[in-house]
Amino acid sequence: MRYAFLTDVHSRAGKLETALADVKRRGDAQIVSLGDVGDDPCVALLRQAGALAVFGNYEVSSWQRLVEANRDWVQSWPPLLAGETFLAVHAAPWWPEGLGPLTPIHEFAAWQQRSRHSWRALFPYLNEDDDFLWQALAELEKAGKGVLFHGHTHRQDAWDCAPDGRLRRVRARAFHVQSGHRYLIGAGSIGLPQDGAGSEYVLYDEQAQRVELVRLE
């Protein structure tokens, strides 16, 4: 199975159309959206593409603005998807039990106050906080998966944690996943990348264990 991980569209329908066309040009791949999609036209494009999806912080705060058909679909999105060898999330691979994925925002705020879970703890930036980064690697290890694909940071990057615990940044645009290693892969952003111009997404060939970071200028 080949996957294309897209994230953080933020209502840029034209950029999403371009990215979906590029994925199709490169061959068959299952589209996976990692959240923060935005408005109805973008949600509709992903539905038409047969995408799988997880919700992001934008869906938590703004899902009620969508038309009913799109709203019903978005409400079915989980916080995490698990493949044979990977996990896919918006920000980090955890979500508290007892909290619905798309709770109305006023109820969500009340739950936060009761539980003392901050918004930042639920949607951390893995490129800015080492504690959350190592926690994400621990969750990956516990799940027995090799790769975590995430969005939220609006940056494309890759980290490789070797079996001896050494962590290094992967500089290559394409690489193979090594047995026994754990990888954190930031898919970048379709609509609002913060590390350069153009749109970004990630291709993953699960059989070949190959990751490619794609940037469209």
Burial class, 22, CB count within 10 angstroms (exposed 0-12 / middle 13-18 / buried 19+): middle
Cα 27 to Cα 29: distance, rounded to the nearest angstrom: 6
Sign of CA dihedral 203, 128, 113, 138: positive
- What's the pLDDT tens digit per position in 160-210? 999 999 999 999 999 999 999 999 999 999 999 999 889 999 999 999 999
Quote the domain boundaries for residue 139: 2-216
Mean pLDDT of 22-35: 97
Among 156, 50, 139, 126, which residue's Cα sits nearest to residue 87? 139
Cα 78 to Cα 80: distance, rounded to the nearest angstrom: 5
Residue tagged 């992001």 (tokens):
56
Query: pLDDT confidence of 32, banded at 50, 70, 90?
Result: very high
Edge-to-edge strand list for the sheet holding 30-33? 52-53, 30-33, 2-6, 199-205, 210-216, 174-176
Contact 108, 146 (CB under 8 A): no
Sign of CA dihedral 131, 36, 80, 52: negative
Beta bridge partners of 201: 214
Query: pLDDT confidence of 7, banded at 50, 70, 90?
Result: very high
pLDDT score, position 106: 66
Contact 52, 45 (CB under 8 A): no
Burial class, 106, CB count within 10 angstroms (exposed 0-12 / middle 13-18 / buried 19+): exposed
Residue tagged 């959350």 (tokens):
132
**pLDDT at 108 exceeding the cut of 80:** no
Query: pLDDT confidence of 101, banded at 50, 70, 90?
Result: low
pLDDT score, position 116: 75
Instruction: Give backbone dihedrals phi and psi of 53, rounded to 5 degrees, phi first.
Output: -155, 150
Beta bridge partners of 93: none
Q: What is the pTM of this model?
A: 0.95
Mean pLDDT of 92-96: 89
Q: How many domains does the chain have?
A: 1
Question: Could you give the maximum distance between any two Cα atoms of the chain, in Å?
Answer: 50
Contact 159, 183 (CB under 8 A): yes
**Percent of the chain's residues with pLDDT above 90:** 82
Where residue 123 sits, what CATH number does that domain have? 3.60.21.10
Among 143, 33, 157, which residue's Cα sits nearest to residue 93? 143
Among 182, 211, 3, 188, which residue's Cα sits nearest to residue 93? 182
Contact 209, 85 (CB under 8 A): yes
